[in-house]
Amino acid sequence: MMVAMSLVWVLMVLASLASLVCFIMVLVKMFQRGDTTIGIVSLVLAICSGIGVLIAFVYGWINASRLEIRNVMIVWTISIVASVLLTGAAMGIAMMQMPHEMQEMHRMGEPGRFEPAEPPEFRLRLPSLR
């Protein structure tokens, strides 16, 4: 299981790096073709909130023919889809490992760790009105 998880993480990093490289290539094409306003907006919003990456992605697909970046956009799309699928795989592997880890901890003498704790006793003491 750990080998599978390590492989998934390595593939996720590679897909993320491919996505970053494609984003940079689209930004460079924007500036080369004179679309500096959308390039600056995409760059600033990518740094501030991440939405600039989406703007560049949509703009890249809309203008893929004019900017001559169809192959870059295909690679970028594949890397995004791969990242989503690999994230799902990582979550699935992690969920499969959880019961085994819980059983191991229970065997090691930590049974109370997974049981809900008893709430502390609380008594409200009001002054008597006598």
One digit per residue, pLDDT tens: the chain, 130 residues? 678 888 998 999 999 999 999 999 999 999 999 999 999 999 999 999 999 999 999 999 999 999 999 999 999 999 999 999 999 998 888 888 777 666 676 666 655 555 556 666 777 777 777 6
The domain tally of the chain equals 1
In a domain, 19, yes or no: yes
Cβ-count burial 18-46 (b if 16+ within 10 Å, e if not): bbeebbebbbebbeeeebeebbebbbebb
Angle between helix 51-62 and helix 70-107 axes, rounded to 10 deg: 140
* Token reading at 71: 């192959």
Is residue 111 situated within a structural domain?
no
123 lies in some domain: no
Q: What is the pLDDT of residue 75?
A: 97
93 within some domain: yes
Tell me the two tokens of residue 22.
Answer: 């494609």
Could you tell me the residue range of the domain that residue 6 belongs to? 2-98
Q: Does residue 114 lie in a domain region?
A: no
pTM metric for this prediction = 0.72
